[in-house]
Amino acid sequence: MNSTEHAAARSPGRCIKLTVAYDGTNYQGWQRQATGPTIQSALEAAINCIAQDDVHVSGSGRTDSGVHAWGQVASFHTKSKMPADVFRKALNATLPHDIVVRHACDVPITFRPINDAISKRYRYVLQPGRINDPFSLKHAWFVKRILDVPSMQAAAQALIGEHDFATFQSTGSPRQSTVRTMLDATVTVHDADERAKIFIEVEATGFLYNMVRIIAGTLVDIGQGRRTADSMAEIIASCDRSQAGMTAPAHGLYLLQVHYPPHH
């Protein structure tokens, strides 16, 4: 096959957008790896099994090993004529049970999950208490001390708006710009079950590497009284990673939603 034939064979056909939930516990993150299972490889294997194709799946961004998703967005090009919702059902019958395609639809062939996203929403789940909960071991960060939620909520307000978020970026991961716009930041208590959980939710035009986990670590410091709620504005302004709290563990983090303009 010459290069023209190869390009024709790989002509895009159509683009299908997927909304995917996954329990990240047993995966080495989103991105395809030489060793170990990833969400991207599992999706590609399932699609190629169904469509007898050799597709590449793009995601709205990587999630790290152990991070979960309720609404990761991914897309792929295929020449298959299968209706998108039938594809969804076939994928769910093929994928491991800890990955679920919640929605599938046709989108313009130019759709790019990472470039077209206008904002993302993450949740970080904390479980405060004296004793471990055997049902949340891989799904919440267990924090021994009681947390002062009103202080955390007050501090979270300082994150809202356009800021240079360099404070909340892991060192050694420079981006061209570290300015992002935080659209929402809330800290709320959810106690439907035996054990109350605290949800930190943040929505922004974009996130730096480990940004949500460093924000969560800093808010826990505030909740435990090691920093005041007022200190958040100074911590942001410092643009200094060492002024923020620890990077909270991966298993408390969930990619909740990725937002696109209405035409997608």
Under rule CB under 8 A, residue 93 binds its own copies: no
- Shortest CA distance to 115 belongs to which of 263, 262, 260, 244? 260
Q: How far is the CB of 130 from its own copies (least distance, A)?
A: 9
H-only helix segments in 113-210: 149-157
Q: How far is the CB of 185 from its own copies (least distance, A)?
A: 19
Q: Which is nearer to its own copies, 139 or 213 (CB)?
A: 139
* Options 111-119, 157-165, 192-200, 236-244: segment touching its own copies (CB under 8 A): 192-200
Residues 6+ apart with CB under 8 A from 162: 179, 180, 181, 182
**Burial class (CB within 10 angstroms; exposed 0-12, middle 13-18, buried 19+) of 176:** exposed
What secondary structure letter does DSSP report for 177? Answer: -
Q: Is 64 a catalytic residue?
A: yes
- The one among 6, 191, 242, 263 contacting its own copies by CB under 8 A: 191
Q: Does 122 belong to an annotated binding site? A: yes
Q: Which is nearer to its own copies, 5 or 191 (CB)?
A: 191
Which residue in the block uniquely carries the two structure tokens 């993150």?
A: 29
Under rule CB under 8 A, residue 192 binds its own copies: yes
- Are the beta carbons of 40 and 99 closer than 8 angstroms? no
Judged by the rule CB under 8 A, the positions of this chain that interact with its own copies are 21-23, 68, 70, 92, 97-100, 102, 131-135, 137, 139, 190-194, 256
Binding-site positions for substrate read: 122
